Amino acid sequence: MDNRLIPDDDYEYEKQLAEQQQKQRKLEESERIAEAERQKELEKQREKRIQSEKIELIKLKSGVIDESESIREQHQQKRELHGIERLSNFWFHNKYIVIFVAFLVLAAGYITYSTLSKVKPDLTVMMVANNGLEYRQEELQAFFEQYTDDVNDDGKVCVSVISAPLDRQSHDELMVSNQSKFIAMLQTADCMLYITDSNSDKQVTDIMKNDLKKDFEDNDYITSQGLSLNMKLFAEQVKFENMPNDVVLSIRNPIATISTSLEDMTKSYNRSFKVFKRIADDLSSKAKESNDPGLETEPLKRVASSQSDN
């Protein structure tokens, strides 16, 4: 561009600005070169020190000298830290360990609290019938609590109804989970009462006591599978209007397992049998007095569901 087209004032300003920028670039370049020289010198000094230390280490190992001045200088006594500085240093070096230990402490505390605060049931009943009654857990718990004693002496009666309906024709994840739950409970003495029906697998009904008629000779509601709950008054108590008429309250035979002795199983059976008898006597008596008509809903027919595997 022709300088004659730029006013004198602007021209002088642009010229001074260009000169300043050039000086700044030269200064930055000089500083960069100086810094590079300093880094080079520091690197030479570091390499020289390392080489010197290597030589002194060789001398120490070979016994030529007894002590190295250069190495001793590097291991001067550490400065003692206090207060916030000391805590900061500890946290910097141990934060992951502290976090892990804190997690373990919190987990242990939660497990302990959960264990101590959890109410241990006085009676456990497992629902294995797959007919819709599993959706009446609260009503079933309230029903059984009428006949249960405060076994653990905690001042209140608590019954746990475990819902694990079984259907051998289904192999979905829920049924597999229910089967595992059922098998696990068989190993313990926690559960002796089961709610079954005519579709329950023979492998389930075979472990139930089938000679209850000897203990309840005059009770028409006792079958080889247990206490028939084909009563309108029971359906009303559990609020299941369309309950099938094949629901049965069964009690399992006490047998020793891998994890539970026969003695413990028998003790649990005797406690559960008291509840079973109270229910059987009370319901059958009320049904006779009220001339209970029974239930009209027929059970759902499941193909081969009550037959054993070949």
pLDDT digits (tens, 9 = 90+) for 7-52: 556 667 777 777 788 888 888 888 888 888 888 888 888 888 887 7
Average pLDDT of every residue of the chain: 82
Q: Are 248 and 229 in contact (CB under 8 A)?
A: yes
Q: Which helix (H) or strand (E) holds 48?
A: helix 8-62
The share of the chain scoring above pLDDT 90, in percent, equals 40
The residue with greater pLDDT, 38 or 187, is 187
pLDDT above 70 for 63: no
Give residue 115's pLDDT band: very low, low, confident or very high (50, 70, 90).
low
Give residue 120's pLDDT band: very low, low, confident or very high (50, 70, 90).
confident
Q: Are 269 and 254 in contact (CB under 8 A)?
A: yes
Question: 194 has which bridge partners?
Answer: 126, 250
Q: Which of 279, 274, 272, 108 lies closest to 188 in space, CA to CA?
A: 272
Q: Within 13 Å, how many C-alpha atoms sit on residue 107's CB side?
A: 6
Q: Are 228 and 248 in contact (CB under 8 A)?
A: yes
pLDDT above 50 for 307: no
What pTM value is reported for the model? Answer: 0.60
For 187-235, give the DSSP string. TSSS--EEEE-TTS-HHHHTTB---GGGT-TT-TTEETTEEE---HHHH
How confident is the model over 123-130, as a mean pLDDT? 92
Q: Cα–Cα distance between 23 and 29 in angstroms, integer?
A: 10
Q: Are 109 and 129 in contact (CB under 8 A)?
A: no
Q: Are 286 and 275 in contact (CB under 8 A)?
A: no
How confident is the model over 183-197, as a mean pLDDT? 92
* Most distant CA pair in the chain, distance: 130
Q: Within 13 Å, how many C-alpha atoms sit on residue 243's CB side?
A: 29
In the block, residue with structure tokens 């009462």? 193
pLDDT above 60 for 68: no
Instruction: Look at residue 301 in the predicted model and tell me its pLDDT.
Output: 73
The residue with greater pLDDT, 149 or 57, is 149
The residue with greater pLDDT, 206 or 168, is 206
Nearest 5°: the CA angle 178, 308, 167 is 30
Q: Are 234 and 284 in contact (CB under 8 A)?
A: no
Instruction: Look at residue 305 in the predicted model and tell me its pLDDT.
Output: 41
- Cβ contacts of 208 within 8 Å, gap of 6 or more: 194, 196, 225, 226, 250, 251, 252, 253
- Cβ contacts of 103 within 8 Å, gap of 6 or more: none
